[in-house]
Amino acid sequence: MSKDKAMLNAFDPAAAGSLPAAERALIERRQRVLGTAYRLFYDNPLHIVRGEGVWLYDAGGERYLDAYNNVASVGHSHPRVVAAIAEQAAMLNTHTRYLHDGVVEYAERLVATFPSALSQAMFTCTGSEANDLALRIARSHTGASGVIVTELAYHGVTAAVAAVSPSLGKTVPLGVDVRAVSAPDTYRHDPATIGVWFAARVQEAIDDMLRHGIRPAALLVDTVFSSDGVYTDPAPFLAPAVEAIRAAGGLFIADEVQAGFARTGSCMWGFQRHGLVPDIVTMGKPMGNGHPIAGVVARPEIFERFGRDARYFNTFGGNPVSCAAALATLDVIQDEGLQANAARTGAYLRDKFREMARKHSWIGDVRGDGLFMGIELVKDQAAKTPATEETHRFVNLMREHRVLLSATGLRGNVIKLRPQLPFSLENADQLMQAADEVFAKL
């Protein structure tokens, strides 16, 4: 297993010796020019050159079933999105200081997918920037600074969001006004009381902040807790924690970078599963199906103070080409019925994994909604002993069986599955066939 504790399924460059000469050479060039901060996936890194729908193709022409891609979410190189980008790029690309229909039309279409109170949008290029902006807005609205996140949360790369991203590891410090609370682990705590349990953790963090003279500005959570290990049910378990932060004068920021855009099948947005209306929502990744566009949606009164005090201009955020990509992506989600497909294929996959748990006792828990899933692997189903090393092997063996997925969670023993939204029942069967063979090898 990689020595890199801060990222699961990371390639260990010290093991490059066993790779073919061409890959070794590219890895060496990469390290020479990109430095030490980048990580590759897999013990045997993949060299991908083409994507189409749910498939990726490597440099040798081998085909891989992509069950991990939450960026090209409506399918790799989707023709409608590609055409929209090409047409707009051939016509004009500027920024939001000129009048243009694109950003307005997209914003109107986007906010129409939210509860009516969340009626305004601001655009960025990455999820990190969206969370960075959301923190500035929350702090300006509340006049407070404290932020509560979960124990293994990831919210992005800027200085401000790295300071609220404990999953970056102990060598990346959290802010002095940041508190990390345990995730709502429904496998190890009673699901029936998990909402109250999680709210109690949030309340402890609020009390601790106040004791240190810090007023809470926000509770910021990924609504499917993806880096914490994928915790989706029983909804609405998130509601009591949101009540606690609001009672303390803070806002609820829903990070929908992972959960958003129909991925959870039952809803367009992850927070909707919990019957909540957040104060601020951030989004990114699948928004432009691979084209960099991200954003923040909120109630007008939340944006109001920030807009008065600080002008906002993001050179690339909301440019016409990005908005065309995002509009086409939204059209594809709606026209191809991808939310319903995510619900159907996701439920099918979870049923199949639950069935498989009777045959392969490595499977301890199967959770998720739509096409966002966590399969927790254990050495002993009764004792729930984490099978961390085996999870790493499972991920790498699946890659050798031409199926791409990864691992997540505090103990690195949760298989993280995020197939593309058009994943079919046939694709699900292909995945299960590979999983059956790989479990038998563990």
User: In the complex, which residues of this chain contact ligand PMP (CB under 6 A)?
Assistant: 126-128, 131, 154-157, 222, 255, 257-258, 284-285, 294
Cβ 220 to ligand PMP shortest distance, Å: 9
Cβ 293 to ligand PMP shortest distance, Å: 10
Length of the chain: 442
Whether residue 78 contacts residue 432, with contact meaning beta carbons closer than 8 Å, is answered with: no
Q: Which is nearer to ligand PMP, 258 or 319 (CB)?
A: 258
Report the alpha-carbon distance of residue 83 to residue 327 in Å, rounded.
Answer: 12
Of 91, 92, 96, 97, the C-alpha closest to 106 is 96
Q: Which is nearer to ligand PMP, 242 or 397 (CB)?
A: 242
Cβ 223 to ligand PMP shortest distance, Å: 9
Report the alpha-carbon distance of residue 343 to residue 350 in Å, rounded.
Answer: 11
Report the alpha-carbon distance of residue 412 to residue 9 in Å, rounded.
Answer: 9
Q: Which is nearer to ligand PMP, 294 or 378 (CB)?
A: 294
Q: Which is nearer to ligand PMP, 128 or 413 (CB)?
A: 128
CA dihedral 137, 119, 419, 397 (to 10 degrees): 10
Q: Which is nearer to ligand PMP, 126 or 341 (CB)?
A: 126
Cβ 126 to ligand PMP shortest distance, Å: 4
Cβ 161 to ligand PMP shortest distance, Å: 7
Question: Would you give the DSSP letter of residue 76?
Answer: B
Q: Which is nearer to ligand PMP, 177 or 222 (CB)?
A: 222
Cβ 331 to ligand PMP shortest distance, Å: 22
Beta bridge partners of 408: 414
Report the alpha-carbon distance of residue 146 to residue 216 in Å, rounded.
Answer: 4
Q: Where are the alpha helices (DSSP H) in 54-180?
A: 79-91, 101-111, 127-142, 159-162
Report the alpha-carbon distance of residue 147 to residue 382 in Å, rounded.
Answer: 36
Whether residue 404 contacts residue 64, with contact meaning beta carbons closer than 8 Å, is answered with: yes
Report the alpha-carbon distance of residue 178 to residue 209 in Å, rounded.
Answer: 8
Report the alpha-carbon distance of residue 10 to residue 16 in Å, rounded.
Answer: 12
Q: Which is nearer to ligand PMP, 54 or 281 (CB)?
A: 281
Q: Which is nearer to ligand PMP, 125 or 245 (CB)?
A: 125
| In the complex, residue closest to ligand PMP by CB | 127
Cβ 197 to ligand PMP shortest distance, Å: 22
Cβ 57 to ligand PMP shortest distance, Å: 24
